[in-house]
Amino acid sequence: MSVSSKYEGCSSWQEIAAKHRETIRLPTGTVSDDYALGEWSRKANQNDVSPSNSKPGPSLASLLQHESTKRIWSSSLDDVLQDLDATGICGLTRSGKVSVQDVTRHFLSRASIVHQATNCLSHFFPDEAMHRAKQLDNKRSQLEKEGRLDELGHLFGLPMSIKGHMNYNKHGSQRGFVFDVLPDPANHPLLQRNLTPKQLQLLVSTQGGFVSENPVNSSIAALLLQNDAVIIGKTTMPQGVMHLDTTNNLYGQTLNPHNLALSPGGSSGGESALVAGGGSALGVGSDIGGSIRQPCGVSGLYGLRPTTQRLPYGGVRSTMPGAEGVGSSLGPMATSLRDVELFMSSLLNEQTRPWEFDHTVIPTPWRKVDSLLSSPRDKPIIVGVMMEDGVVRPTAPVRRALSQWVDKLRTASSASGTSLPRIELRRWDPRDLHRRAWDLIRQLYYMDSGKMFHLLAKATGEPLLPLTQFILSEPFVRSPTADLEADAAGEPTNRKLDEMSYLESCAVIRAREAFRKEFLKHWNDLELDCLLCPVMCNVAPRPATIKYWGYTSVFNLVDYPGVVFPSGLKADSKLDEQFESAPTDGEFGYEARSGWCSEQDRENAQEYEEHQEVFDGAPVGLQLIGRRYKDEELLKHAELLQHLCGSNSD
């Protein structure tokens, strides 16, 4: 069957989605017969509700001892690869101690198991991956004979995954809309019935192009291939890319491998689930409001949202093409901090030179910056600390983790006789900055009043999901409903309900620039090197419940790089109750709650309190923010803080 004819007979969005899901085929012999492995995924996707209101779900790790699952999960490389990060795996493949084919086969089997538990894959191509692995083994053999092993790519033989909207080969890209999988939307009867010719042309010209008969690689995929990586699959994302959860009408709900009652975050939630579950050695996500940092933070991973235009964005499918009110960044999602640096240094150097073939990236190679663990420094490192943002107070496990890190940093800053740089902590007072940032960025996301989202849903008749409806809600985003109805009837549109006018869009961009200026002044007044803060107002959310992005999106608004890392702590209802019963005060403490900061604050607190035990076992991540285009220094600051605080305490 040709690509263009695959969905011709489908008369509803449900039929299109079902036919597309059939393309996600798991390799023969990698499907477990353990009912419990996929039980929580089925539960989450049968009724489109949270799979649990009263107890935590099992972790993926706890389900691996079933005979069938264990057979698939295990391989001859178990002992060799145990506890190795991507950097360690690349060391083995580059040295020839293990073959790329064996490593790829190992991860393909595990990716299949992770998907069965979490529903994280949007595309899976094991045959292609094994073919490439064989090519790379042959390449290494030939280069070894010629004494040219130094020509191997930095990511040689590394099994990797990428987020679903990044083009790769003939697999196209999707953004969680059913429309995305149609190769020829202009000629599909369902779309012709649901849309006016004008609306259909608008979508085809700006939103089409899911699948090509010819290979098409995004710039990021091309760089991975140039570095000799093996791309094994693509991962799920939420409807329209704009949730801190991962659910859509095309693939359903994705779950968190640490606690299968919870979400892996979003929008790069498929990536976080696959990498955290052990099915991919290194992942690539995107971040326009927190979509790398939040899923890494709630899944026990390390993730970097670089300053915009550090990594090339060409060939990445956007839901709002042409809208540049808020820039999006691509970045790594990893199991170690050094893997983050490996990724960035491998893709941005004088050999790869992505700025010469992709206009979206600035010509700035990744700079080598000395570690703060070994280089002497007279001046202290000034670390700002934001305990809460004044809009939504973090829940107990987040506050407990941040408080513990602050206590350790204060102890380290007062210690004598150490060769490490001195740490000086300064309290970041959010004032009303973060409240205004959340209001402003929502306007910048949807300067078209969400018209494109509504059209994409209308095209196939799929419903807009609750979290999509929320992010499109008034008063920050105008309702386009009347405009769409008038357009469909051929009537004049109501300008007030349509997208922003030119003068209005100029005004909101001016507001953004004024905010950035004010934010920078606040940062400079404190003389900060970096800022430590929560990555989210709670741990991993129950599916379809998380609405507030403010702890990450404010930094997208000002375009500051951010790195997320595990705190070493997990949600524990008993420990968290003890923490709540002994509120701290002082410069870096938490006073007892005296009221709600906002309606979102009330909702967040009640969600946690009513379902507290469901969150047990969920990892707590923290976030470190750096100065714009000081991404390299930011990683060294994170390395220092991690060394001082550790990530293995509980």
DSSP 256: B
Under 8 Å between Cβ of 176 and 237: yes
3-state DSSP assignment of residue 575: helix
Contact 304, 344 (CB under 8 A): yes
CA distances from 24 to 240, 249, 449, 636 (A): 21, 15, 34, 40
SS3 543: coil
- Which tokens sit at 396? 């107990």
For tokens 């000081």, what's the residue? 630
Please tell me whether residue 530 adopts helix, strand or coil conformation.
strand
Cβ 553 vs Cβ 327: under 8 Å? no
Q: Is 553 a residue of the active site?
A: no
- 32, 41, 291, 553: the catalytic one is 291
- Cα dihedral: 124, 126, 127, 130 (round 10): 140
Going from the C-alpha of 437 to that of each of 114, 142, 432, 434, the distances in angstroms are 37, 55, 9, 5
Note whether 239 and 180 are within 8 A (CB).
Answer: no
Phi, psi of 247, deg, nearest 5: -150, 145
Among 338, 361, 335, 334, residue whose Cα is nearest residue 348: 361
Interatomic CA distance for residues 419 and 374, integer angstroms: 8
Q: How far apart (Å, rounded) are the C-alpha atoms in residues 237 and 164?
A: 7
Q: Answer positive or negative: Cα dihedral of 117, 120, 125, 126.
A: negative
Cβ contact 247:239 at 8 Å = yes
Closest CA to 169 of 105, 127, 222, 228: 222
Is the bond preceding residue 363 a cis peptide, omega within 30 degrees? no
Largest pairwise CA distance in the chain: 77
Residue 61, both tokens:
């790790």
Residue 163 designated active-site: yes
The H helix count followed by the E strand count for the chain is 23, 13
Q: Which of 256, 251, 294 is nearest to 275 (CA)?
A: 256
Measuring CA to CA, which residue among 299, 233, 292 is closest to residue 267?
292
Given 6, 43, 163, 636, which residue is catalytic?
Answer: 163
Is 291 labeled as catalytic in the residue annotation? yes
Whether the upstream peptide bond of residue 267 has omega within 30° of 0, thus cis, is: yes
Q: Which two tokens stand for residue 295?
A: 């899923």
Give the CA-trace dihedral at 7, 9, 11, 12, to 10 degrees. -30
Distance CA 44, CA 542 (A): 10
The closest of 285, 252, 288, 247 to 268, measured between CA atoms, is 285
Parallel/antiparallel/unpaired status of strands 329-334 and 302-305: antiparallel
The 10 Å Cβ neighbour count of residue 465 is: 20
Fill in the DSSP letter of residue 212: -
The catalytic residue among 161, 267, 449, 553 is: 267
Catalytic residue numbers, as ranges: 163, 267, 291
